């Protein structure tokens, strides 16, 4: 075999290896979530703040990553998945592609994802902006710069999410990552409860 043929063979093998790696790498977050246990609904800790099942979720006002003021009550009339996360959290990384897909599929259905970044626990604005860009996140991302809202909502382990019905009442608290199927199930539960 000539040196030219060997060189072409090696180049072809490298191209195949790179193509297989690219496909494999593009599904990394899906595989990561598949290897983790999904989050589970947990009992609420006693609180005076309205976090018990069926109570009105405590309202708050934060500034989003885009610099817009928002209140949780702005979403009254929509089912809300209120999520608490940080960039350094592997389950949060695994969950985000599912949240984005869920959000894209629910946009015309009175459903909202509000993903509160625990800014006091994170690694700085550049890291947060890079994370949002990496995952192409388009839902609202309020910044909890003082840590008050994460504490209020008992986000001691992340990700922590709350499922809030269209009347603003807390239905579930989930600790750990969710996938799109799990989120869809919670929204179906809300829809069935309203019919």
pLDDT tens, residue by residue, 64-79: 999 999 999 999 999 9
Query: Cα dist. 192→42, 179, 184, 189, 195 in Å?
Result: 22, 20, 12, 5, 5
Both 79 and 170 in a single domain?
Answer: yes
Domain co-membership, 27 together with 45: no
Contact by Cβ (8 Å): 81, 99:
yes
Looking at the structure, tell me whether residues 19 and 81 fall in a common domain: no
- Whether residue 146 is found in the same domain as residue 184: yes
pLDDT tens-digit series, residues 76-110: 999 999 999 999 999 999 999 999 999 999 988 99
List the one residue out of 167, 166, 118 whose CA is nearest residue 142: 118
Reported as type and span, the H/E element at residue 187 is helix 180-194
Q: Which two tokens stand for residue 45?
A: 């800790």
Question: What range defines the domain where residue 123 resides?
Answer: 38-194
Check whether residue 108 and residue 134 sit in a common domain. Answer: yes
* 4/47 Cα distance (integer angstroms): 74
Q: Are residues 8 and 104 in the same domain?
A: no
Q: Are 20 and 42 found together in one domain?
A: no
**Residue 96: CA count within 13 A, CB half-sphere:** 28
User: CATH no. for residue 110?
Assistant: 3.40.30.10
Same domain, 62 and 130: yes
Both 11 and 44 in one domain: the answer is: no
Structural domains in the chain (count):
2
pLDDT in tens, the chain (195 residues): 677 667 666 655 655 554 445 444 544 544 555 555 677 676 655 555 668 889 999 999 999 999 999 999 999 999 999 999 999 999 999 999 999 999 999 988 999 999 999 999 999 999 999 999 999 999 999 999 999 999 999 999 999 999 999 999 999 999 999 999 999 999 999 999 887
Q: To the nearest 10°, the Cα dihedral for 29, 34, 36, 39?
A: 100
Question: Are residues 121 and 61 part of one domain?
Answer: yes
Strand order in the sheet with 61-64: 40-41, 170-175, 160-164, 79-85, 111-117, 142-143, 61-64, 69-71
């Amino acid at each position: 075999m000539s040196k030219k043929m060997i060189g072409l063979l090696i180049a072809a093998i490298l191209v195949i290896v790179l193509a297989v790696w690219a496909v494999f790498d593009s599904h990394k977050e899906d595989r990561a979530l598949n290897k983790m246990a999904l989050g589970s609904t947990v009992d609420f800790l006693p609180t005076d703040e309205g976090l018990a099942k069926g109570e009105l979720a405590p309202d708050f006002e934060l500034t989003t990553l885009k610099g817009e003021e928002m209140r949780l009550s702005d979403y009254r009339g929509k089912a809300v998945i209120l999520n608490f996360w940080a960039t350094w959290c592997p389950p949060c990384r695994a969950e985000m592609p599912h949240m984005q897909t869920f959000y894209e599929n629910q946009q015309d259905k009175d459903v909202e994802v509000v993903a509160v970044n625990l800014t006091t626990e994170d690694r700085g604005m550049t890291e947060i902006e890079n994370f949002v860009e990496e995952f192409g996140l388009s839902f609202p991302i309020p910044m909890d710069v003082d840590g008050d809202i994460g504490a209020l909502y008992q986000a001691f382990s992340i990700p922590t999410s709350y499922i809030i019905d269209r009347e603003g009442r807390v239905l579930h608290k989930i600790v750990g990552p969710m996938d799109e199927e799990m989120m869809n199930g919670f929204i179906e539960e809300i829809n069935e409860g309203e019919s």
